[in-house]
Amino acid sequence: MRWQGGRESENVEDRRGGGGFSMGGPLGGRGIPIGRGGLGIGGLAVVVVVSLLLGINPMDLLNGTVPVEQSRYEQSQAPRSNADDELGRFVSVVLADTEDTWNALFQQAGRNYQEPTLVLFSGAVDSGCGFAQAAMGPFYCPLDQKLYIDLSFYRDLRDRFRAPGDFAQAYVIAHEVGHHVQNLLGISDRVQQAQQRAGNRAEANALSVRLELQADCLAGLWANHANRERQIIEPGDVEEALTAASAIGDDRLQKQSRGTVAPDSFTHGSSAQRVRWFRTGLESGQMQACDTFSADRL
């Protein structure tokens, strides 16, 4: 991906190594809400998998109504390496690029794009949606309109999910920005209301899948526009993003965690679905093409 020398966003909040938290003592018994209302890229799936293993309703976990066992978080005080700072600059340039794209697209539709803030953290973070740990993966919190990412997720992406490359990393940010766009357009709210009316968990999960696949499509839409305006895509980049999209599909994550796949509990869509919707956004460049909610086939 061609990003060096690109504009850096002013909406990055760097909370890496900023003193950190110590989550209570051994006697602390307060439940910690995690990721309330937050929409992660793979983290949500991890929560689902973990809670299935523990026999807890994941919706309760995500709504923060289940007390999570308290853990002590040790902040690493290691100095930041140059590689990290280069990564920090990189995400800032990608965020700026999404701002340029979405400002233009909203303007075309006669609307005003409110730019989100990207929070970089290490280990754990106190978000507007509750306390979150890096293990949850990157997520978007609609309540404070901020994207949260621990850059160590990129190491996981490369090593654990075998999806290396800077464009794969950019896709992750573009997906979370996609959730912000859904929030601004009122889509997330409508989905949440429909989920509350849903008769069962499978139905609620099916709506989550459509929301997630739409965020993938919006990430593809960003790639289309950014490339048309600023020629950022280099050979191999699209394959990188598709590898990432496929590596963090729920079926793949579930297989890694428990060896089998149970479609009812999917909340992000299968690997093939994620690839298809990212590609739909990328190839069409049209917002209308990203209507996952009325699509017959995902």
Chain residues in the site for Zn ion (CB under 5 A)? 39, 41, 212, 215
The first and second tokens of residue 75, run together, are: 């902040």
Nearer to Zn ion, 23 or 135 (CB): 135
Minimum Å gap between C-beta 128 and Zn ion is 17
Task: Give the closest residue to 175 by CA, choosing from 263, 20, 43, 48.
Answer: 43
Minimum Å gap between C-beta 36 and Zn ion is 15
Cβ-based neighbours of 175, under 8 Å, separated by 6 or more: 41, 215, 216, 218, 219
Minimum Å gap between C-beta 212 and Zn ion is 5
Burial of 176 (0-12, 13-18, 19+ CB in 10 A): buried
Element (H, E) at 117: strand 117-121
The first and second tokens of residue 123, run together, are: 């280990």
Nearer to Zn ion, 6 or 216 (CB): 216
Q: Label the pairing between strands 146-150 and 117-121.
A: parallel
Minimum Å gap between C-beta 209 and Zn ion is 10
Cβ-based neighbours of 282, under 8 Å, separated by 6 or more: 220, 221, 223, 224, 238
Q: Are 164 and 171 in contact (CB under 8 A)?
A: no
Nearer to Zn ion, 20 or 127 (CB): 127
Minimum Å gap between C-beta 276 and Zn ion is 16
Nearer to Zn ion, 136 or 215 (CB): 215
Beta-carbon count within 10 A of 9 CB: 20
Nearer to Zn ion, 151 or 191 (CB): 191
Minimum Å gap between C-beta 214 and Zn ion is 9
Minimum Å gap between C-beta 51 and Zn ion is 17
Cβ-based neighbours of 56, under 8 Å, separated by 6 or more: 66
